Amino acid sequence: MRMIEQRYFRHEGCGCLCARATGTRAVTRQVICNEHIPVMRWRSTGMDTRIRIWVWTVVGVSVLAGLMADVGRADPTPLWTIGREEGGPTQFALFGHYPEYLHRFPADVHFVIGTSDPSRDWSFIQPGPDDVWAGSRSHTFTVEFNLAQVPQEACRLLLVLANTHWGNPPLLRIVVNGNRAYQYQLPPGADDRSLSDARVGRKVRVAIPLPASVFRAGANTLAITTASGSWMLYDYLRLETGITLPEEDLVDFQAESTPFFRKVRGRLRQAVRLTFNNMGTAARVEVQAAGMELQSFPVQPGANTLYVLVLPFERTGFYAMRVSSKPGVWHTVTVEGRPERRWRVYVVPSSHTDIGYTDLQERVFRRHNENTLKALNACDTDPAFVWNLEVAAQADFLKAANARAFAQLMERVHAGRIGLPGLYLNMLTGLCDGEELIAAFRRSHELGRTYGFQVQAANLTDVPSAVGTLPMVLAGSGIRYFAEGVNQDRGPVFAYADKRMHQSPFWWEWFDGSRVLAWLSDGYAQASALGLTDNVDTLGRRLIPWLRSLDRPEYPGDAVFVYGAFSDNQPMDPKYARVAEEWNSTWEYPKILV
C-alpha cells in the first residue's frame, strides 16, 4: 500500500476544513463534511487488504465509522426531533440526579411526539444492564409518533449523544413497530463527571439507516434499548427521511481468535469471532478460511457477530479469511490466530450478603429469604439449577420466617443442589479472637450433623484480607476448601501479592502444618460480570478477555473459578442455569460447570 496524501478543501456552506485522501491503490478513503464533523469511511478494493475498525475523533467528538456514511441527500427532512440541537443533556429530565431514575421512570421512558415535554418526560441518561443503581437490567426508551403516510424514501435515526460509559458502553437495539430490530455497538466515552457536568463528555453521533418499509401510515413506535453494557447520555435525537439506502454495505470489520471450540462431525474446530456493521439491508455472507469449506451466514442491518470455524491454531501467527456478500467481490480480513487452552469454567453462584449496606437490616433479611425461596422453586422446575447460600446465616434467616421452607432447604442441601458454607457471616477475621473465630463455623456444622451432610468449604466475601491463623481454624473445623472474594478497593491485595495468587489456587498453610486449598478471587458477583446472568451473546463477548487474563505462564491449569453471581443483596435470577446449558449445547469448550 502506498502512502496516503491528504488534501484539505473548504466545504461550501459551512467553511470548515475537510480532507480528501488520494494516492492509494488497495484502499480508498472518503472524508466528507457532515454538520462540521469529519466522517471517515474505509472500503476494501483488493484481495490482500487488512481491514480494521476505525473511529475518527476531532475535538472530543467521536463518530462511528460507517454509521455516518454518505447516504442520502445533504438536506434530509426531519419527521420529529426530541431536544434542541446542541442543547446538551441539561435540557432533559434528571440531569445531575441520575440515582433517581427508577423512582422517576419506573416503567422507563415513553415519549409521545407532539404531547410529551423533553424537560419532563425524556431522561438525560439511559441506563444499561450493568448499572446496579438502575436495577441491573436493560432499559427501553419508546417514542410514539404518527405519520400521515409511509415515507417515500428511506429514513435514518440520528442519535447525538453527549457521552457514553467510559469502560463499558452500551450495545443498542433499535426496534421499529415491534418487528424489525437493528443492533449497534457504541464506542467508549469520557469519565463519570459528565453525569453532573455537561462540559465533560465525548460526543457521539450515530446515524442508523432505516428502510421506509418498516414504517406505516398512522401510529408508529420506535424503541431504543440498551441491550448490554452501561449508560449513555443524550444531546438530542431526530428521525429524518430523504435517505438513499445502500442495498448492502459492510464496514468496520474486526476479527479475533477465541478460546471457543465446537465439534463438527466428531472433530474439534476453533472459532474466530468476526464483527462488522451492515449499513444496508438483510443479506447473506460467505466466509472462506484456510482448510475449511465455505461457510454461509445470514446478516442483519446493524451490528453483526459471526463465529467462523477454523482448524485449531497450532502456533501464533497472522492468518487471512475472505468474506463475500456479492458474487465476485471479496474482503480479506486478517486475524492473529493463537493456540488456546480447553477451559473448564466452574461457577459458584450466590448473592452477596451485606447486612445494612444497601437497605435496613430487616429488608436485607427478606431479600435473601426471597432469593432462597426462588432457589428452592428453581430446584423443583430445573434439574440443572444449583445455588449457594453465601453465608450460613441465610439458613437461619429462612428458619425464622418460614419453618416449612427451611426443612425443604435442608433437603436440597443434603442432595447437593444448594450449598451451605462453613462461615456464619462475612467476618472481619482480624478482629476475632480465637474463640470467636472457631464459633463462626459452629452453626454450619450443627446443621450438618442434624440433617446428615458435611460442610467442607468456606468462603469470605467483600473483605480486604483474612487473618493468617485462618487456615489452622479452617482445617481444625473440617474445612478443606476456602475461597475469598477480595475487596480490592479497601485492600489491593493483588497489587502486592505473588502473581500466582491472582485467580489461582494455592495451598494455604499455618506454622503447625495445617492447610487448606485456597482461592483468592479478584472481586465477587463474577457470573453477572461475565454475562452468565444475561445471555450467551454477552457471555461470549466478555468471556474472551477474562480468560485471556488467565492465559499466562504462572497459571498452569485449564480450570477457572467464577466467584458468586449477584452483587450486594441483589435479587437472584435463576436464568444463569439456562444460559450455561445453552452455552454448553453450542460449544465444546469452554465448558461452563455450575
Co-location of 239 and 258 in the same domain? no
- 18 is a domain residue: yes
Co-location of 298 and 365 in the same domain? no
Radius of gyration of the chain (CA): 27
Specify which residues 236 forms β-bridges with.
160
Write down the pLDDT at residue 211. Answer: 85
The 10s digit of each residue's pLDDT in 305-346 is: 999 999 999 999 998 888 888 887 788 889 999 999 999 999
Nine-digit cell at 141?
A: 426508551
Rounded Cα gap, residues 494 and 592, in angstroms: 26
Nine-digit cell at 199?
A: 462540559
- 308 is a domain residue: yes
Q: pLDDT-based confidence at 248, cuts 50/70/90?
A: low
- 72 is a domain residue: no
Specify which residues 419 forms β-bridges with.
388
Write down the pLDDT at residue 224. Answer: 98
How high does pLDDT run on average in the chain?
84
**Residue 388 · residue 351 · CB < 8 Å:** no
Co-location of 184 and 255 in the same domain? no
Co-location of 59 and 122 in the same domain? no
**Residue 313 · residue 259 · CB < 8 Å:** no
**Exposure of 160 by Cβ count < 10 A (0-12 exposed, 13-18 middle, 19+ buried)?**
buried
The span from the first CA to the last CA of the chain, in angstroms, equals 50
- Give residue 491's identity as a one-letter amino acid code: G
Q: Has residue 32 got a pLDDT over 70?
A: no
Write down the pLDDT at residue 247. Answer: 60
Given 293, 315, 337, the domain boundary residue is 337
Interval 450-459 mean pLDDT: 96
**Cβ-count burial 71-83 (b if 16+ within 10 Å, e if not):** bbeeebeebbebb
Co-location of 279 and 227 in the same domain? no
Structural domain harbouring 9:
5-64
- Listing DSSP states for 126-138 in one string gives E--TT-GGGTSS-
Co-location of 509 and 565 in the same domain? yes
Nine-digit cell at 271?
A: 472459532
What CATH number does the domain containing 239 carry? 2.60.120.260
Nearest alpha-carbon partner for 18 in 56, 52, 51 = 56
What single-letter DSSP state applies at residue 422? S
What CATH number does the domain containing 430 carry? 3.20.110.10
Write down the pLDDT at residue 447. Answer: 97
- 71 is a domain residue: no
Write down the pLDDT at residue 209. Answer: 84
- 11 is a domain residue: yes
- 70 is a domain residue: no
Co-location of 184 and 153 in the same domain? yes
Interval 369-390 mean pLDDT: 95
Nine-digit cell at 491?
A: 485492600
Given 220, 243, 266, the domain boundary residue is 243
Nearest alpha-carbon partner for 311 in 295, 333, 329 = 295
Q: Has residue 277 got a pLDDT over 60?
A: yes
**Residue 268 · residue 588 · CB < 8 Å:** yes
The 10s digit of each residue's pLDDT in 113-141 is: 999 999 999 999 999 998 989 998 999 99
- 194 is a domain residue: yes
Given 312, 337, 362, the domain boundary residue is 337
Co-location of 389 and 281 in the same domain? no
The 10s digit of each residue's pLDDT in 474-487 is: 999 999 999 999 88
Report the alpha-carbon angle 459-461-465, nearest 5: 95
Co-location of 356 and 315 in the same domain? no
Comparing 514 with 488, which gets the higher pLDDT?
Answer: 514
- 69 is a domain residue: no
**Residue 75 · residue 66 · CB < 8 Å:** no
Co-location of 408 and 312 in the same domain? no
Co-location of 185 and 330 in the same domain? no
The 10s digit of each residue's pLDDT in 282-302 is: 778 889 887 788 899 998 877
Co-location of 324 and 390 in the same domain? no
Helix axes of 361-381 and 393-401: crossing angle, nearest 10 degrees: 90
Count how many domains the chain has: 4
The 10s digit of each residue's pLDDT in 554-593 is: 888 899 999 999 999 999 999 999 999 999 999 999 999 9
Rounded Cα gap, residues 285 and 290, in angstroms: 17
Rounded Cα gap, residues 310 and 451, in angstroms: 52
Write down the pLDDT at residue 74. Answer: 55
